[in-house]
Amino acid sequence: MTKKRDSLPAEDRVGTNGRASVPRFGHGSRVPGWDEAVDLRKDPADVPDPATVPVPPQLRAEIEAHMAKYPDHRSAVIAGLAAAQRHHGWCSPEAIDQVACVMRLTPGYLVSIATFYDMLENQPVGRHSVYVCTNISCSLCGAEELLAAMEEATADDPDFNVRHFECLGACDIAPMASVDGVYVGPISLDEVPTLLEQVREGAPVLPAKQLTQRAVAEPLAVLPKGPTTYGGRMPEEALGPPAAIEQEPIGPAEGSKQSNEKAV
């Protein structure tokens, strides 16, 4: 049985940075949360100086491309942090500084977001993410046993980041997992070693059980032609029109008041 956080002795409740951790979920919720207190003795960090914070050109280009999509560039914060996480493996202080530098925001603002969204990692993790859904449909189909088997099989492998997750929206393939972004299910316990071996080899995981390979009712749906590793990009022909926010602004209609005023 999991030990409740509140029942831990005080010395076990110290975070990785040496500061006291915050027992936010004293009722024993499995939801991880806000675990480290802010160090109020430190001065707030300023927006980093571009002259002293080198940013890898590819990362800078990716963040700037996200910023260009929105009228308020802060709307691109999550995408910017995700890009930095892909580059560094986690939202390290260095990664946060680089995003802050490009986006002209304070590191504190970015940390407040990186610590809220749980797919943004605030500690180093294994490069392969295995999110086992343990929400109701998956739980009824043996998700806890599946998670335990995954954790046991990867206990000595630092390359894996195995964790439970709330509903991933693929309840019809329960019990399922997102393996490096690829939805797979239903996964039986005896398939766990094969799945993990495929991840290690960089091969598609359980190809016949990937969500993208299932039949769909929509006759016009365009799906990837084969099984994928790491997410698999949606085929170009399946992409819809750009979101309204990405479209060129439409000028005033012919004959409208505004265009008449211009003509005068």
Binding site for ligand FES (CB under 6 A): 133, 135-138, 167-171, 174, 176
- In angstroms, the CA 12 to CA 145 distance is 28
Q: Which is nearer to ligand FES, 100 or 132 (by Cβ)? A: 132
Check if the beta carbon of residue 200 is closer than 8 Å to that of residue 153: no
Cβ contacts of 52-55, under 8 Å, gap ≥ 24: 53/97, 53/98, 53/101, 55/98, 55/101, 55/102
Helices (H) and strands (E) in the chain, counts: 8, 4
User: Nearest approach, Cβ of 171 to ligand FES (angstroms)?
Assistant: 3
User: Nearest approach, Cβ of 184 to ligand FES (angstroms)?
Assistant: 11
Q: Which is nearer to ligand FES, 137 or 213 (by Cβ)? A: 137
Q: Which is nearer to ligand FES, 23 or 186 (by Cβ)? A: 186
Token pair for residue 210?
């990937």
User: Nearest approach, Cβ of 167 to ligand FES (angstroms)?
Assistant: 4
The conformation of residue 165, written as its DSSP 8-state character, comes to: E
Q: Is 171 helix (H, G, I), strand (E, B) or coil?
A: helix
Q: Which is nearer to ligand FES, 101 or 168 (by Cβ)? A: 168
Q: Which is nearer to ligand FES, 75 or 135 (by Cβ)? A: 135
* β-strand partners of 128: 160
User: Nearest approach, Cβ of 173 to ligand FES (angstroms)?
Assistant: 8
User: Nearest approach, Cβ of 146 to ligand FES (angstroms)?
Assistant: 11
Q: Which is nearer to ligand FES, 150 or 174 (by Cβ)? A: 174
User: Nearest approach, Cβ of 170 to ligand FES (angstroms)?
Assistant: 5
b/e sequence 207-244, b meaning 16+ C-beta within 10 Å: eebbbbbeeeeeeeeebeeebbbeebeeeeeeeeeeee
